[in-house]
A = this chain, B = another copy of it.
Amino acid sequence: MADHRQRRKPGETREKLMNAALELVGKGRHFASLGIREVTRQAGVVPTSFYRHFRNMDDLGLQLVDELGLVLRRMMREARGNVLQADKLIEESVGIFISHALANRNFFLFMAQGLAGESRAVQEGIRSEMRFFASELANDLRRLRLAEHLSDKDLDVTCDLVVRTVAFSLTDLLGVSVDDDYQVDQIRKRTTHFLQLIFVGAANWQSAK
């Protein structure tokens, strides 16, 4: 029998496995219900290869969270680069978020699943990414002098709420078909509305106490 061994680049199979898991998630499966054999089958790799790169499915999940972090940071960088004037800040940011979510659909699906997922470690990882995101947002708002009347704690809570709201919109967004422009636009408008509501609340916070 011919042996079809051909290792091209180091870590290639590893990527194939991680992509395979994401693809299955993209097809509507839940990460928690995926099995090793299933993933290797989708990746076109023999089951035993799995163990060369991951100890189990939880391990793979954790490594996916790490990559998710990169995706989120890319998104943040683009958002920062595109903030032109403050009054369009929300619309622009929501737009960037949505386009990234659609472009990296499977990653964000994985994120949405992981928030209430099976592995505590994955859950904590995603949560930690969200915290980081919120703190970066707080920094930006301070830097842009948009939150000078808020205490550190109040700003922290506000940013946390913003991030949660956007994360929840993920669940809406990923439920509709990618090219259903109308629905996507509805979600964009609604999310924008949410954030405006929150920022109006933050702007009038001091006087309300």
Contacts and interface: CB of A to CB of B under 8 A. Distances in A.
Interface residues of A, number: 39
Nearest to A167: B168
A190 interface: yes
A32 interface: yes
A117 interface: yes
A175 B117 CA distance: 11
Contacts of A204: 200-201, 203-204
Given A200-B205, A208-B200, A115 B116 contact: yes
Interface in A90-120: 109, 112-113, 115-118, 120
Contacts of A40: none
A198 interface: yes
A112 B109 CA distance: 15
